[in-house]
Amino acid sequence: YRLVPEVCFPEQFHDALRATKHFLQPDVLAEYSVDPSRIAISGDSAGGNLAAAVCQQLSKDEHLTIRPKLQALIYPVLQAFDFNTPSYQQNMNMPILPRYVMINYWIDYFNGNYDLAHSLLINNHTALDVGQALSFRGRLNWTSLLPSSFKKNYKPVVQTTGKAEIIQEIPALLDVRAVPLLAENETLQLQPKSYILTCENDVLRDDGVMYAKRLENAGVEVTLDHFDDCFHGCMIFTIWPTDFSAGIQTRNSYIKWLDENL
């Protein structure tokens, strides 16, 4: 898919969806000797975002004759609604992906203004008086979606009054094609068997854990593969001289699940 700043959302989503639909055509699968009953959609980080969004979109396409058997999401980024989940609070200054960097990535993706970064950081865009966000609040209530071992002693950051103009300026903040965690239950029920890998030392940990819980609540078979001693992006570190145990164990666990389920 094309990248920022050449194009911004929703073009990356459209690129990924277009390529996937092309690949799922029977003649294309035959050309590459692909078994149409054994196809998985997978991605890591921003790719996990697109994999989840594409999978949701495909599940609603009534004309599709071949569908993915699985989705496998590796430390996916799935929401821009709450930048104060326990993992965002716990890992706000964690190397590789500190919170302010993640917020700036969202602003880049949406072609927004960096002046909004502080308001996003304190959840002004989803305050209680921001009407556009109200209907989504129940879909991302981490106090009910996360286990106590992840919630620890962190408290929700919910502003009473905020800035509705942020959503007016960047409506994509609440667009499920960009933030798949906010999808309605009816869409989640249509998702294939799912694998979600999360790491403790990662602001995005709770994105993946909450999505796994929402999918499970919707009746989808989900494997949540959590690593207490790993960090965001670690799976790329598998080749000398950066062949870290974090990369090797996450990669091996991911491939093992695919071997057993695909």
Task: List the one residue out of 231, 224, 196, 197 whose CA is nearest residue 96.
Answer: 231
Burial class from Cβ neighbours inside 10 Å (0-12, 13-18, 19+) for residue 101 reads: exposed
Q: What is the DSSP string of 209-243?
A: HHHHHHHHHTT--EEEEEEEEEETTGGG--STTS-
The partner residues of 195 in beta bridges, in order of sequence, read 72, 223
| DSSP at 42 | E
Task: List the one residue out of 170, 159, 163, 157 whose CA is nearest residue 107.
Answer: 170
| Angle (deg, nearest 10), helices 46-59 and 11-23 | 60
Question: What are the backbone dihedrals phi and psi of residue 189, each rounded to the nearest 5 degrees, phi first?
Answer: -60, -20
SS3 call for 72: strand
Quote the tokens at residue 175. 């667009």
Kindly name the residue from 33, 37, 42, 45 that is annotated as catalytic: 45
Question: Is 45 annotated in the active site?
Answer: yes
CA distance to 166, 172, 202, 237, per residue, from 89 (Å): 22, 24, 10, 25
**Residues with a known catalytic role:** 45
